[in-house]
Structure 1
Amino acid sequence: MRLSNRGKSTQFSTLQWPFFFAFVAALFSTATAQARCNNPNRKIGYCVSIYECPSLIEVVRRYDLAPRDREFLQKSQCTNGYGQSPYVCCTPDKGFTSSNDGSNPMPVTSTTTTRRPSIVKPPSPSNGKGNVLPVPPACGPNSLDNKIYNGKDTPLDQYPWMVLLEYTQKNGKPILNCGGSLINQRYVLTAGHCVVGAIETEVGPLSTIHLGEYDISTEIDCIQEDCNKEVVKLGYEQVIPHPQYQPNNNNRHHDIALIRMAEDVTYTDFIRPVCLPMASSRQAINVGELLTVAGWGRTLLARQSNVKQELAVPVVDHDECARKFSSRNVNLITSQLCAGGEFSKDSCDGDSGGPLMRQSDRNRWYLEGVVSFGNRCGLEGWPAVYTRVADYVDWIEQTLRP
């Protein structure tokens, strides 16, 4: 039985398994309403899509949503509204007030965006913050949709730090193969095997970083009437694998790398950095704890999912995992983290370099692992192996430059 390197079709590549979802119930119940409604302040408004209510969209997009704000949003819900759900009773109000004067809502405007072709740009000067790692609330935001409801589809702005890496094949055609995570305006964190080694000879050289992607099969990504902004495609200045990473070693120790992009990224609702487990904020990772892995999950031969997907995977005891992989002549070290091991639920080919994440009690997302490799995909009792990010924060900080 051969090991599977999750980012390329090599002697380690194997069959791919899809993600299985675990969805949660809605955060709140809704109140019966018609086209006209009363908001929590008893002001008369119209029942419309949250995306067409400028006053409440402004509330939703706040970095730190206070409990009182969340309560106002929940109590603003209505049914039988116009446009895409969730529906809210729209007025100029942005929170609870003592007023009840029955004022009319703000004019409703559409926020749908049309995507234009992206252009790969040459290197440009940095804003001087390339060596700065963001901390909450400037990183790891929750999805805008998750503040209102939990639906059956991954929201367009879910995990806005996730990137896709594009390579140029020998025939000159582009191919998307690995993932990564945006960690600040200039750098992406990915797996070492996504930038050096067999991927260069068997797939092709890295060419472009895609940011803000959701559905790779469409030019414009929309859920009903809500569309995200255009995908940003950037070149890169430098790839920096960890100095101790050995591309030809099956142990995959230190399988982590930085990519310095050709220019600074402008943050949007769909492009934003993830938080790193800094020494001042990191927490122990406990056996059995559920972490979240996300990606597009595909191989070079078949695309299993065009849409960004997520999966909760349990952390596995390191010693137990090490014994398991030793039977395949793979020696794991403590800077490698094991998670998963459930049948058909796994990260897989095409997910390499992508994030293994934890959500904090303040609803901020932290990057705990980078998808590295596994023994095939989705095999019962065989967890996937991730590079433990906390063990490399010092190297990351020392390597970043303005």
Structure 2
Amino acid sequence: MASTEWNFLVLLMVIMAFSEWVQHSDAAQITFGSCTPQESDERGQCIHITSCPFLAELLATEPQTPAQLLLLSKSQCGLDNRAEGQLNSTLVCCPRSKRIDVEEPEPSHLPGNDQQPGNVLPGNDVCGFHFADRIFGGTNTSIWEFSWMVLLQYRKLDVNKSTSSNEYTFNCGGTLLNPLYVLTAGHCLANRKLEKVGVVLHSVRLGEWDTRTDPDCTTHMNGQRICAPSHIDIEVEKGIVHDQYVPNSVDQQNDIALVRLRRSVSYTDYVRPICLPTGDLIQNNFVDYSMDVAGWGLTENRQPSPTKLKLTVNVMNRTNCQLKYTSFKVKLYESQLCAGGMAGMDTCDGDSGGPLMVSISTGGRDVFYIAGITSYGTKQCGLGGWPGVYTRTGAFIDWIQQKLEA
């Protein structure tokens, strides 16, 4: 089905639901970036349609003219899958002069931004909510997608490795857990390879999508251009590697670490935490689950991707995975997961420390949990039949909670 036809169907469903419009929704005051409205030189904001009377009134008009339907279709700039109902989830590019006169909420007024101490983890009313464009697919992520993902930024040392230079590189990924802590792999902090190339962890970048641009902007198939806020760089206060992790060991057991930030980050729709496994998910090995991995690691041309890419992988039975890695004299543990194995589709250098993500329906909404942390794989990425190995997060919940400080 053509995307324009799909937009028409979505909007017709919205029209049918218009009578159920509830104006007091908190989500109505949230903006998802700047944009350029159709047939207008005025800048606009990508917001819920219930906050844009100009377009909301068109929805209420019956019947719509072909021109009105086309305008509604081209005005759509995304869908907010955290909102209840088709109407409340529809986002449109609304001219500034035609939107409801409300102030965009400051980050400190957004849900979950009550300056909780660093030893408190957010509940699933705050963490794991996923905002993405559900109309267009592909391996490229949207600028909103996986808002908990971060880049670890390393500072290069000078020639004698005693002082720092002003050159920076991105060598690993990580996942935001709360306003002060990022979860990553142990080998992203304790690694002889990093020492050999002369780099030291310096800061964490949040709200990034394309490392070449700031701010990040994207143009949708319907012509809408959306721009996100600038990314955020926060210096690292300290790194905490698992006590029993052995750097550069063959099996990479206990490959997990926490990074504490120098200051708290405020949540936005581009910077939010993921959920840690709870309840039955803690012991779940997720065999045969489909999961998402994402990052800025090496692509098939052996160069880092400037934009955040995503991939769907299936979790493999650990026994079968062990059979593959036995030839390398590698032992797999209960605290590890294997996923992937499709030729040419894999995490690779630079993706280390990033999340293996599972979507679970909770309270009528899809909530993302971090099931694993990208640990290691074959030297040549994407070999058919060879899955990647991930640290199973559920096995370290107690360790994580013990290490968090207020």
Same fold (TM over 0.5): yes
Paired position in structure 2 for 1:79: 70
Provide, for residues 250-272 of structure 1, a one-character-per-residue CA deviation record: whole Å limited to 9, x for no partner.
11000000000001000001000
Letter in 1 for 2:98: V
**Selected match of 2:120 from 132, 135, 142:** 132
Provide, for residues 225-274 of structure 1, a one-character-per-residue CA deviation record: whole Å limited to 9, x for no partner.
21111111011111000001000311100000000000100000100000
Distance 1:203 1:354, change over 3 A: farther
Letter in 1 for 2:142: P
- Alpha-carbon deviation of 1:384? 0.3
Distance 1:128 1:52, change over 3 A: closer
Letter in 1 for 2:395: D
Paired position in structure 2 for 1:277: 277
Paired position in structure 1 for 2:179: 185
Q: Are 1:401 and 2:391 an aligned pair?
A: no
More displaced 10-residue stretch of structure 1: 318-327 or 183-192: 318-327
**Selected match of 2:377 from 374, 378, 384:** 374
Take 2:9 and 2:335, find their aligned partners in 1: how far apart are those partners?
Answer: 53
Distance 1:96 1:391, change over 3 A: closer
Q: Are 1:166 and 2:153 an aligned pair?
A: yes
**Selected match of 2:98 from 98, 105, 108:** 108
Paired position in structure 2 for 1:387: 391
- Alpha-carbon deviation of 1:41? 3.6
Distance 1:334 1:230, change over 3 A: same
Contact 1:187 1:260 in 2 (8 A): yes
Provide, for residues 35-59 of structure 1, a one-character-per-residue CA deviation record: whole Å limited to 9, x for no partner.
xx9785489xxxx67x746452769
Structure 2 unmatched runs, 5+: 21-36, 39-43, 53-59, 80-84, 89-94, 101-113, 159-164, 220-224
- Alpha-carbon deviation of 1:28? 8.7
Distance 1:309 1:57, change over 3 A: farther
Take 2:376 and 2:345, find their aligned partners in 1: how far apart are those partners?
Answer: 14
Contact 2:283 2:394 in 1 (8 A): no
**TM-score (structure 1 length as normaliser):** 0.72
Letter in 1 for 2:235: G
Contact 1:340 1:346 in 2 (8 A): yes
Output the aligned Cα RMSD: 3.6
Q: Are 1:295 and 2:295 an aligned pair?
A: yes
Distance 1:239 1:157, change over 3 A: same
Structure 1 unmatched runs, 5+: 1-23, 60-71, 89-93, 98-104, 111-125
Distance 1:327 1:275, change over 3 A: same
Distance 1:204 1:33, change over 3 A: closer
Q: Are 1:356 and 2:356 an aligned pair?
A: yes
- Alpha-carbon deviation of 1:145? 2.9
Paired position in structure 1 for 2:26: none
Q: Are 1:56 and 2:33 an aligned pair?
A: no
Letter in 2 for 1:368: A
Contact 2:183 2:259 in 1 (8 A): yes
Distance 1:25 1:235, change over 3 A: farther
**SS of match in other structure, 1:182:** strand
- Alpha-carbon deviation of 1:83? 6.2
- Alpha-carbon deviation of 1:135? 1.7
Distance 1:345 1:27, change over 3 A: farther
Paired position in structure 1 for 2:368: 365
Contact 2:186 2:257 in 1 (8 A): yes
**Selected match of 1:155 from 138, 142, 158:** 142
- Alpha-carbon deviation of 1:324? 1.5
**SS of match in other structure, 2:316:** coil
Distance 1:161 1:82, change over 3 A: same
Take 1:253 and 1:347, find their aligned partners in 2: how far apart are those partners?
Answer: 19
- Alpha-carbon deviation of 1:107? 4.3
Distance 1:180 1:87, change over 3 A: closer
**TM-score (structure 2 length as normaliser):** 0.72
Distance 1:54 1:387, change over 3 A: closer
Contact 1:166 1:175 in 2 (8 A): yes
Take 1:275 and 1:30, find their aligned partners in 2: how far apart are those partners?
Answer: 32
**SS of match in other structure, 1:363:** strand
Q: Are 1:236 and 2:236 an aligned pair?
A: yes
Letter in 1 for 2:306: N
Letter in 1 for 2:216: D
- Alpha-carbon deviation of 1:214? 0.2
Provide, for residues 273-312 of structure 1, a one-character-per-residue CA deviation record: whole Å limited to 9, x for no partner.
000002365473443221111111228x953421111101
Take 1:41 and 1:359, find their aligned partners in 2: how far apart are those partners?
Answer: 29
Take 2:243 and 2:217, find their aligned partners in 1: how far apart are those partners?
Answer: 41
Provide, for residues 167-224 of structure 1, a one-character-per-residue CA deviation record: whole Å limited to 9, x for no partner.
1123421111100000001000000000112123324110110000000111220012
Contact 1:53 1:108 in 2 (8 A): no
Point out the structure with the larger helix share: 2
Letter in 2 for 1:140: G
Question: Could you tell me the percent identity over the aligned residues?
Answer: 37
